[in-house]
Amino acid sequence: MKSLLLILKKKLAYPTVLLVAFVFGFQSVAVEVRAEYQEQDSDIISFSGAVLSENSNALPYAVLSVEQTNISTVTNSEGEFSLKIPGEDLNKVLLISFLGHENLRVPISSLQPTGNKIRLKILPYVLPALEVISKDPKTIVKMMMDNRKHNYSQKDYLMTAFYRETIKKRNTNVSLSEAITEVYKRSYNSSLHDMASLYKSRKSTDYSRLDTLVFKLMGGPYNNIYLDVMRYPEYIFTDKMFENYEFKFLRTDQINERIVYVIEFKQLRHLIEPLYYGNLFIDAESYALVKAEFDMDLTNNEEATRLFVRKKPFNARVSTTKAHYVIDYRPIGDLWYYSYSRVDLNLKINWRRKLFNTYYNSNIEMAATDWSSDVDKKDFRSKDRINQSVVIQDAASGFSDPEFWGEFNIIEPDKSIENAINKIQKQLNR
């Protein structure tokens, strides 16, 4: 099983690696990341605002996409968005979607540069049962797996995405990393793994707030790439999936104006190995996986933590308190494409002979902002591809340049992250 990689170093005169944890199993070899630069196209127009429910609640991770293009982004945890659109596409329509709400289409020409408030209506009706209640949920899941070849690309394509990772000690942001990454997505029937390169990256860390440990995430964008469970089903649903999991039909719902079956799954009680539990959202017509949201079962916490921790300080006992995963797909034509994924990992460190525990919360997310079939495998191989154990370097560009990303679409940072960036920069400038 693959996993998210983390490093904790003790703050000594000559620091040594003492703890390596991971959520999907990469080797701990850091590589240098080089950033390239490109002038911003003056024809790119920026829009920002927030997506809200009709009751004024913020809608986190709502999807915004420009119809008849491959341009897309998602809102942050506070429902805020930032979207950059080429001038030639200003006559098109922006589609906004969120689970349990009606899709909304807004002419881009009607948007203001800033301060847009987009409200979505809560679905006012009960969705039809579609006679699925009488069906075996295992049959639906089997159809989902059998139809992969029809629902996902059988050709290689290039995906541009925005990647962000944050590390918190308790509720305080102590490390922030962001990158524009290009992913060579291989055919969904390929046995070869996807490739990735960092186009731009920046990072800011306040090590003074990490006390006696330095905590680093490893694996970078590959953590999110391997969350594509339709591309890598072996990491979640092996050939023995029906021997490992219990499936239950919950309800019908609606995503992107399409009816979906919501299937709950959880590992069977007699299994000791830490597996997963959560929900699958499966398109009722094509049986494509539209969304998955799940957690690792931490009942056997010692074994679960062993999947994340390779080495640790001798006087520390580490336990995992949360391992949560989300993957979303977007329909383009007759196929479904990777759209967004997120990993939330929380660890507790119990120090011997110390009164208080230390809590670290890490979050990594990646949103696809563009897809292209114009991809050359040889050309991509010649780029500065990143290793599966990449660490976004401390020497990355920093957060001083507000125009750093140029024409690339990004996820708007949370207010808490913006505050942390300012605090960290002030601390580092002393």
Per-residue pLDDT reduced to its tens digit, 362-375: 889 999 999 988 87
CATH topology of domain 44-120: Immunoglobulin-like (2.60.40)
Q: Which two tokens stand for residue 231?
A: 């591309």
Strands 335-351 and 316-332: antiparallel
Say what the pTM is. Answer: 0.83
Q: How far apart are CA 114 and CA 99, in angstroms?
A: 25
Encoded amino acid at 313, one letter: P
pLDDT digits (tens, 9 = 90+) for 20-62: 344 443 333 223 333 333 334 448 999 999 999 999 999 999 9
Asked if pLDDT for residue 234 goes beyond 80, the answer is yes
| Arithmetic mean of pLDDT, 253-276 | 90
Distances, alpha carbon 183 to alpha carbons 288, 324, 384, 393, in Å: 22, 23, 12, 19
Choice among 288-297, 303-312, 332-341, 364-373 with the minimum mean pLDDT: 303-312
- Half-sphere exposure (Cβ direction) of 338: Cα atoms closer than 13 Å: 34
Choice among 184-198, 207-221, 330-344, 346-360 with the minimum mean pLDDT: 207-221
DSSP bridge pairs for 340: 328, 367
Helix (H) or strand (E) holding 72: strand 72-74
- DSSP H helices, 134-254, are 137-146, 148-151, 222-225, 241-244
Q: Tell me the residue ranges of DSSP E strands in 98-156.
A: 104-107, 116-120
Are the beta carbons of 76 and 409 closer than 8 angstroms?
no
| Arithmetic mean of pLDDT, 105-123 | 93
Dihedral angle computed from the Cα positions of residues 145, 369, 155 and 181, in that order, rounded to the nearest 10 degrees = -100
Choice among 39-43, 281-285, 299-303, 361-365 with the minimum mean pLDDT: 39-43
Mean pLDDT of the chain: 81
